[in-house]
Amino acid sequence: MSQVEQAYKEKLKAFSDELIRLQSPLQILDAIKWPREQETKFLASGGTRMPDINADFYQSQALNFNPDTTREDLKALKKAIRKQLGAKDPLGRILVKNLEQSQLVVDLLLSRGTQEFGCISQQLYGSARHKLHGDRHTLRQLGDRLSYLFSLPAARRINKQHPKVISAPEAVDELSRRLSKYFHNDDILVRLSDGIVSDAAVGGDTIKLNSQAMFSEADLNVYEVHEGWVHLGTTLNGRAQPWATWLGSGSPRVAATQEGLAVLLEMLTLSSTPGRARRISDRVAAVDMAESGADFIEVYRHFREQNLSERDSYRVTQRVFRGGMVTGGSCFTKDISYVRGYVENINFIRAAITAGMPELLPMLFVGKLAIEDIPVLYQAHKQGIVEAPEYLPYMFEDYSGLYAWFGFATGLAGIDLKGVQRHFQRLFRDLPTVDPIAEFVEDTEFDDWE
């Protein structure tokens, strides 16, 4: 290694470490979380009492960083990166993109409970009205289509096959056992928590399970691959990077890739359920309604009318309104990342296969990244700057099966399957109990969803 190459790597590491230091206090979810008692009060009112959350509530929740100092430090770091690495350096440009996201996060957290919060959230995560890359349909349209599929009678019957009979302590023990096998060189902590509203949450090398919740076997299957293999795995792979250390720390621009990849792993391992898939799809509708001005109660009632339980209706609504305004028009748009990222990951994999570059696929797990970063990171990997991921799901380690699966899917993508589907639907018509799939096939414009 030449002295010039060594000096470049050391500069890259120094800038990466400084970015991580400045990003660490910018904890978005901690800064916008609601007290658990809000759910109790709201449901006790029969869904008629607006949550007691406004700008004053957020202002009473102190931020754990100095906005002015952080802004100045980020500005100085950006200037130093461009000066010392060069404005056109590929890895330096990724660093700057992440840095610029941190600048926006500072503004986001200062605007909690205001109209501006929703505008900045859209800059960071996008909007439910945005269209998929290369497609004319919006994320809301795709979300509605998926929500319909996952709410058919057959889906509701399947959901009953997954009772929540596992206590939180038992779930901690079982998940710890599973993940200790996967993360063979690292100690992973799974622990109980009284401080989270959701049933599960991940942070760094720790998975927290709600001590008050009950879990199903399917829940544990999802947590193992979603929180474990993807979120924890990419964190640990990123932290193991010798030079590109920023890959161990996320920013909003990586949310779609991270969440979409996690959902994809749920599907590839057959871990998900229709109920889980519907909750993910419903989040897009919740974001769109809140963006369009619907208030908290209106969004909650929408999901109750869609036969979602009181608890699930509250939680999908609360996720979207945290940080924004319960009166509508300003919300947290991160929850579109799951559906958007799922589509983007699938199409990235298909594109890599058809382009004859399946070796790009393991790079999805090299750390916290956005899909568009992968070509640059792959080049850096070939140059010895970025290490290959240590923890890699089996289908991405030996991707021959993945290649075959997506090869078939790509081959079928251009074929009109409506006639084939109608043939099999006719076989089902004489059965005593049939879910209304035939009606769905006839009413849905499949030609519009190639």
| Of 282, 335, 346, 368, residue with least CA distance to 133 | 346
pLDDT at 441: 42
Q: Are 368 and 238 in contact (CB under 8 A)?
A: yes
pLDDT at 443: 44
Q: How many CB atoms are located within 10 Å of the residue 4 CB?
A: 8
Kindly list the distances between the CA atom of residue 182 and the CA atoms of 213, 248, 268, 313, 408, in Å, as whole numbers in the listed order: 25, 18, 17, 34, 29
pLDDT at 102: 96
pTM: 0.89
**Above pLDDT 70, what percent of the chain?**
94
Indicate if the pLDDT at residue 413 is higher than 60: yes
pLDDT at 445: 39
Q: Are 300 and 46 in contact (CB under 8 A)?
A: no
The average pLDDT across 221-228 equals: 95
pLDDT at 149: 81
Both tokens of 379, joined, read: 């080049």
| Of 322, 369, 389, residue with least CA distance to 16 | 369
Of 106-110, 168-172, 205-209, 431-435, give the lowest mean pLDDT range. 431-435
**Neighbour-count burial of 361, counting CB atoms closer than 10 A to its CB (0-12 exposed, 13-18 middle, 19+ buried):** buried
pLDDT at 205: 81
| Higher per-residue pLDDT: 423 or 102 | 102
pLDDT at 134: 66
Question: In the predicted model, what is the mean pLDDT of the chain?
Answer: 89
The average pLDDT across 312-329 equals: 95
pLDDT at 158: 79
**Neighbour-count burial of 71, counting CB atoms closer than 10 A to its CB (0-12 exposed, 13-18 middle, 19+ buried):** middle
How far, in Å, CA of 365 to CA of 448, rounded? 32
Indicate if the pLDDT at residue 2 is higher than 60: yes
| Higher per-residue pLDDT: 92 or 440 | 92
| Of 68, 40, 66, 38, residue with least CA distance to 54 | 38
Cα end-to-end distance, the chain, whole Å: 49
pLDDT tens-place string over residues 348-397: 998 998 898 999 999 999 999 999 999 999 999 999 999 999 999 999 99
pLDDT at 182: 93
pLDDT-derived band at 185, boundaries 50, 70, 90: confident
pLDDT at 447: 35
Q: Are 121 and 130 in contact (CB under 8 A)?
A: no
Q: Any idea what DSSP says for residue 206?
A: E
Chain centroid offset of residue 430 CA:
42
pLDDT at 444: 41
Indicate if the pLDDT at residue 196 is higher than 80: no
pLDDT at 138: 86
Indicate if the pLDDT at residue 136 is higher than 90: no
How far, in Å, CA of 155 to CA of 410, rounded? 26
